[in-house]
Amino acid sequence: MLLTTTDTLPQPFTVLGLVEVGFVANPVHKQVFRMRSETSTEESMEWAQNALRERAAKLGADAVIGLRVQSLFGNNCMLMGTAVKLGG
């Protein structure tokens, strides 16, 4: 599944909805923000991207566009984007 920070694609698509997942960047506590604790920021981001792909796939999406990370508080972050079906 395609994940991209761009808000559009060079082909038609249908918007299916917003997908988001919380994660902990460089976590220091276990079981924070409803997910497993990771050992590095890279592993946390990889876990979040995979979780986002799964949520988008459940909507029938082929891609997630407009991908962005928002810092919430402390090390807690939110990865979000717009799930789309290619071929509009």
Assigned fold of 2-86:
Translation Initiation Factor IF3 (3.30.110)
What pLDDT score was predicted for residue 72? 80
Provide block-wise average pLDDT over 10 residues at a time, the chain (88 residues).
Answer: 89 91 64 50 82 92 91 81 88
What pLDDT score was predicted for residue 64? 93
Strands (E), the chain: 2-3, 13-24, 63-73, 76-86
Sign of the torsion angle spanned by Cα atoms 51, 9, 7, 75: positive
Q: If we measure between CA atoms, which residue out of 9, 26, 5, 1 comes closest to residue 79?
A: 5
Does the predicted TM-score (pTM) go above 0.85? no
In the beta sheet, which residues pair with residue 13?
A: 86
Q: Where are the domains of the chain?
A: 2-86
What pLDDT score was predicted for residue 27? 53
Taking the mean position of all CA atoms in its chain, how far away is CA 3? 8
